[in-house]
Structure 1
Amino acid sequence: MKKLNYDRIKKVANDYNADMTAFLRKMISYPSESCHEGEVVACIKAEMGKLGFDEVKVDGLGNVMGFMGNGDKIIAIDGHIDTVGIGNRDNWKFDPYRGFEDDQLIGGRGSSDQEGGIASAVYAAKMMKDMDLIPQGYKIMVVGSVQEEDCDGMCWQYIYNKDNIKPEFVISTEPTDGGIYRGHRGRMEIRVDVKGTSCHGSAPERGDNAIYKMADIINDVRALNNDGASESTQIRGLVKMLDSKYNPNHYKDARFLGRGTCTVSQIFYTSPSRCAVADSCAISIDRRMTAGETYQSCLKEIEDLPAVKRYGDDVKVSMYMYNRPSWKGAVYETEAYFPTWINKESAPHVKALVDAHKALFGDKRIGCPKSMDKREGRPLCDKWTFSTNCVSIQGRYGIPCVGFGPGAESQAHAPNEVTYKQDLSSCAALYVAAVNLYDPSKANVDDATEYRGTLTGNDIK
């Protein structure tokens, strides 16, 4: 293991800050919603080529990958390059794709979530090559992954199964607001369908209104999310998983990750006309899963709701599948289930980032003045609230993950999205130091993993 000059690493990273800023602003200028990332892929590929990556390629799904070094083993740095849309344009104070910058901030759709992470990762790989800091026997892989906003982790299912690439560990550059993140809740997308019978709206008693049935079910879903867990509660709320009584094996991990949640995110119906009773209704449920919850338990909780039981065979509860074509036209069908995962703080890949942070910046979160009020007092090593590609990388395949990325979760999917210039260079410096502090002799997946969600029986290749 080479002796690192941390001051030099920080200086070189800071010297590249203007280049990273220009690169990020260029990426922001290309609208890149899921399945439409082609232009930003070309932008990233060109930047990697300009910076002297040893190999740059775009795979069959459309992920862009750059490699530095020639070792047999891989350490990967991942960032998704698709964004959500802009929503109501009137909510933006500036053009979301032209963006803006001042002395501290860069604004634009994707600045925090999460093209800023790609800017830091690409320049970190260049720094490693130029400073002769690619660890012996390794190559550094920087991935600009696609379709994460649509189906988190599906891009890495493709990389693992189709490209046959299996890194030793992966750094996620999703925004962490100055922290090092070692896990997050899983999630799944549930659909509930209700059947009814149509009739003329002038005599609704002749029919069976599917929307009325669904209204009862929706109230029960809300209770499942909001209610407590006392014995007298008819629908025991999801908060119960924080209690050792209901989650004896994993309640401590659940308290770290936070409780599971559920919410109705979409509603659909069919009816012969506006003057008829609706003959079907369906909803989508966004279910966030904490430690100890499984995809079976989440489906069963919906099936066991009083209103669902009341309407019996007229109700169907299922899990969504995802099969939307990528920007290259490729389809990788997978289930809309994204397993929970946590690493131990002592895991070697987590420890590498923590040790690098302490050597470079100390043991407190760092940030520019406009962000410090939200970073102070929070633990350095923590977890995400939302979900990332790590649901596949570690949740499905057991490849250890850890997160450190520029920007803040609170900026994700929000109007007037910004990231912090200082974060770009801080993250680049940390990636360089961390891969050189990683001790592969202590790498053991069983020792690294604190909790991983169960998989389904689907053999998705």
Structure 2
Amino acid sequence: VVGTVQEEDCDGMCWQYIYNVDGIKPEFVISTEPTDGGIYRGHRGRMEIRVDVHGTSCHGSAPERGDNAIYKMADIIADVRSLNNNGCDESTDIKGLVKMLDPKYNPEHYEDARFLGRGTCTVSQIFYTSPSRCAVADSCAISIDRRMTAGETYKSCLEEVENLPSVKKYGDDVKVSMYMYDRPSWTGEVYETEAYFPTWINKESAPHVKALVDAHKALFGDERIGCEKSMDKRAGRPLCDKWTFSTNCVSIQGRYGIPCVGFGPGAESQAHAPNEVTYKQDLPTCAALYVAALNLYDPSQADGNATTYRAELTDNDIK
């Protein structure tokens, strides 16, 4: 059992340390993140992108003497929104991220992308510098939360932003980059890594996934179960499914290929919600399934080919 730190800040960074420094390399991992009563075999990846725009400050009484970085960023933000919202057949310079569900744009991985769901992007933070409230802003920056489906890599996502019409319009005044994470842990340890969290999917037939499915069917049947109050969101979804959000599995399997599967108490919709709730009955349900699954797991069926899709890995040395 591993209780990890800093997962909310930098998914899987703790497992990079466990794998590379502590040298712990398990045969497979069960993640206990909330799964809405389902058994989860994958999820989208994500990355954190920063866009910096430079301008020239001047007195606010004569703004034409300066170059307002916030106005430039406004154009870029509109294009980022279009990248998320547009379709892929529109007659526009910006094809929407939904394009990765289409075999025309993602011939090798569109089926995996349809299982995971389309990628998304949203502006999550905005920053600026200005000498005062009566001056033109000389810089502006935004953070973009980018969720990545099968077929997308950190390089392709950076290039998409770099190729937005507004980014190209402002040329050298715009810089697109990936965040690096270097916050110290509670012990003071710093483990620097890029803010890139790879996509992963397992085969439903993989032995570690099959062990949980067989255990669930033997204990509880082949339908999702859970607290009556939460079943309105769970009902109708396949037992073997995927997460909407991201977990530490981005490193465990996404980077290192250690097979992962998820089954945990609680509902995804409750994560980060005000007055978050975990249903008490989910706790013994999960505990029982973990024990049964480990007893049903057949290591002789593990052939090193559990993974359906893993995103391109990094060299962990991005600057």
Gaps of 5+ in 1: 1-141
CA distance in 1: counterparts of 2:153 and 2:231, whole angstroms: 37
Deviation, structure 1 residue 457: 3.1
Any residues of structure 2 matched to 1:171-210 within 5 Å, and which? 171-210=30-69
Q: 2:210 aligns with which of 351, 375, 378?
A: 351
1:145 counterpart SS class: coil
Q: 2:311 aligns with which of 444, 449, 453?
A: 453
2:170 counterpart SS class: helix
CA distance in 2: counterparts of 1:427 and 1:157, whole angstroms: 26
CA distance in 1: counterparts of 2:90 and 2:124, whole angstroms: 29
CA distance in 2: counterparts of 1:312 and 1:209, whole angstroms: 15
Q: 2:75 aligns with which of 189, 212, 216?
A: 216
CA distance in 2: counterparts of 1:164 and 1:458, whole angstroms: 17
1:421 counterpart SS class: coil
2:225 is equivalent to residue 366 of structure 1: yes
Partner residue in 2 for 1:301 = 160
CA distance in 2: counterparts of 1:166 and 1:222, whole angstroms: 40
CA distances 1:132-176 after superposition (whole Å, capped 9, x unpaired): xxxxxxxxxx01111000000001001001111000000000000
1:342 counterpart SS class: strand
CA distance in 2: counterparts of 1:175 and 1:221, whole angstroms: 30
CA distances 1:233-257 after superposition (whole Å, capped 9, x unpaired): 2210000000000000000000000
The one-letter amino acid of 2:308's match is E
Partner residue in 1 for 2:133 = 274
CA distance in 1: counterparts of 2:24 and 2:314, whole angstroms: 22
Deviation, structure 1 residue 375: 1.7
The one-letter amino acid of 1:261's match is T
CA distance in 1: counterparts of 2:309 and 2:135, whole angstroms: 50
CA distance in 1: counterparts of 2:303 and 2:120, whole angstroms: 32
The one-letter amino acid of 1:448's match is A
Higher relative contact order, chain-length normalized (CA < 8 Å, sep 6+): 2
Partner residue in 2 for 1:397 = 256
Any residues of structure 2 matched to 1:4-15 within 5 Å, and which? none
The one-letter amino acid of 1:332's match is Y
CA distance in 2: counterparts of 1:448 and 1:159, whole angstroms: 22
Deviation, structure 1 residue 231: 5.2
CA distance in 2: counterparts of 1:426 and 1:457, whole angstroms: 40
Any residues of structure 2 matched to 1:88-237 within 5 Å, and which? 142-230=1-89, 232-237=91-96
Deviation, structure 1 residue 221: 0.1
2:281 counterpart SS class: helix
CA distance in 2: counterparts of 1:320 and 1:376, whole angstroms: 38
1:192 counterpart SS class: strand
2:278 counterpart SS class: strand
Q: Percent identity?
A: 88
CA distance in 2: counterparts of 1:210 and 1:232, whole angstroms: 29
Partner residue in 2 for 1:130 = none
Partner residue in 2 for 1:131 = none
CA distances 1:22-47 after superposition (whole Å, capped 9, x unpaired): xxxxxxxxxxxxxxxxxxxxxxxxxx
Deviation, structure 1 residue 371: 1.5
Deviation, structure 1 residue 378: 1.1
Q: TM-score, structure 2 length as denominator? A: 0.98
Q: Which has the higher helix share?
A: 1
The one-letter amino acid of 2:22's match is D
Partner residue in 1 for 2:288 = 429
Q: TM-score, structure 1 length as denominator? A: 0.68
Q: 2:102 aligns with which of 243, 250, 260?
A: 243
Partner residue in 2 for 1:440 = 299
1:175 counterpart SS class: coil
CA distance in 1: counterparts of 2:314 and 2:157, whole angstroms: 13
Deviates more, 1:361-370 or 1:299-308: 361-370
Partner residue in 2 for 1:3 = none
Alignment length (residue pairs) = 318
2:240 is equivalent to residue 381 of structure 1: yes
> Which of 1 and 2 has greater Rg?
1
The one-letter amino acid of 2:312's match is T
1:151 counterpart SS class: coil
The one-letter amino acid of 1:371's match is S
The one-letter amino acid of 1:413's match is H
Gaps of 5+ in 2: none
2:285 is equivalent to residue 416 of structure 1: no
CA distance in 2: counterparts of 1:154 and 1:192, whole angstroms: 23
